[in-house]
Amino acid sequence: MAKSSPLSEKLDEIRSRIAAAAAKAGRDAKDITLIAVTKTAAPEQLREIVQLGVSDLGESRVQVIAQRIPQMTEFLARQRTHGDAAAVPAKVRWHMIGHLQRNKVKPLLPLVDYIHSIDSLRLAEEIEQYAGKLGKRMPVLLEINASEESSKSGVAVGASVHLAEQIDSMANVALVGLMTMAPLTEDKEKCRFVFARTHEIFEEMKWHKIGGTHFRHLSMGMSNDYETAIAEGATMVRIGTSLFGGKVEHEAEDGE
């Protein structure tokens, strides 16, 4: 047994809350992936979280991803040759969760395993083009602006089914699900509404036969609202500050 640390205690608590929320919803906790959002994580916390068995990491800025992935790859390789190979996951997956600009698609694509923040046809087309050049079929999630706040990113609810159909017809982009962000509020009912609505749109798309068998993810729920999101069907929860501390910067844009 690894000795306990502040991070391992937080992770244990989050895992048991995920399990309890899943049980309460009559779901299997194995169907819910914890994505550790490393925006506020120090380098040693990043190494520790994978040693604690977390294999899905999320970041919102291309520049940061480009720095952190080589460091992580090197760390994992070192662990496997000199350290305790059993203590690190066989594969670490990186999730791009932040707003993505088209001019960052090219450097991002070779690095990440999922992009959660597709919000326009032009962005999807850019991914289609570069993924084709890499010989890669890029798994993406369509970000839905289910709260319809103008400040939020994501595609408007009314435009979402059509956009999903367009993305679904692309050869090098695999539409694997939907992502949403609840409004920043303590009001659990408002969050629940946004998650439930996103789930409805997801079911509607499945009814339209969009996405096929790999269309199965609902990426929703963050530190303050992941239990509500699990109750409404989340299969991926994106948790940052509850794990790593630090200040919340949900709208971190990849600005430069």
With both helix axes pointing from N to C terminus, report the angle between 188-207 and 157-168 in degrees, rounded to the nearest 10.
40
What is the nearest approach in angstroms of ligand PLP to the Cβ of residue 75?
A: 22
* Cβ nearer to ligand PLP, comparing 60 with 160: 60
Question: With respect to ligand PLP, which residue has the nearer C-beta, 76 or 244?
Answer: 244
Q: What is the DSSP string of 115-156?
A: EEEE--HHHHHHHHHHHHHHT--EEEEEEEETT--TTS-SEE
- Contacts to ligand PLP by CB under 6 A: 37, 39, 60, 97-98, 181, 222-224, 238-242, 248, 250, 252
Q: Contact 223/240 with Cβ under 8 angstroms?
A: yes
Q: List the beta bridge partners of residue 236.
A: 33, 219
Residue with smaller CB distance to ligand PLP, 129 or 153: 153
Shortest separation between residue 143's beta carbon and ligand PLP, angstroms: 8
Exposed e or buried b per residue across 140-173, where buried means at least 16 C-beta atoms within 10 angstroms of its C-beta: bbbbbbbbeeeebbbbebeebbebbeebbebebb
Q: Kindly tell me which of 58 and 211 has the beta carbon lying closer to ligand PLP.
A: 58
Q: Which residue is nearest to ligand PLP (CB)?
A: 240
Cα–Cα distances in Å, from 145 out to 12, 44, 82, 177? Answer: 31, 34, 46, 14
CB of 180 to ligand PLP, least distance (A): 9
Residue nearer to ligand PLP on the CB measure, 181 or 230: 181
Where do runs of H (alpha helix) occur along 142-218? 157-168, 188-207
Report the residue number, 80 or 197, with the smaller CB distance to ligand PLP.
197
CA dihedral 200, 54, 115, 104 (to 10 degrees): 150
CB of 82 to ligand PLP, least distance (A): 33
Rounded CA-CA distance 223/255 in Å is: 24
User: Residue 128 Cβ, how far from ligand PLP at the closest point, in Å?
Assistant: 23
Work out how close the CB of 18 gets to ligand PLP at its nearest, in angstroms, rounded to a whole number.
13
For residue 216, the minimal CB distance to ligand PLP (Å) is 19
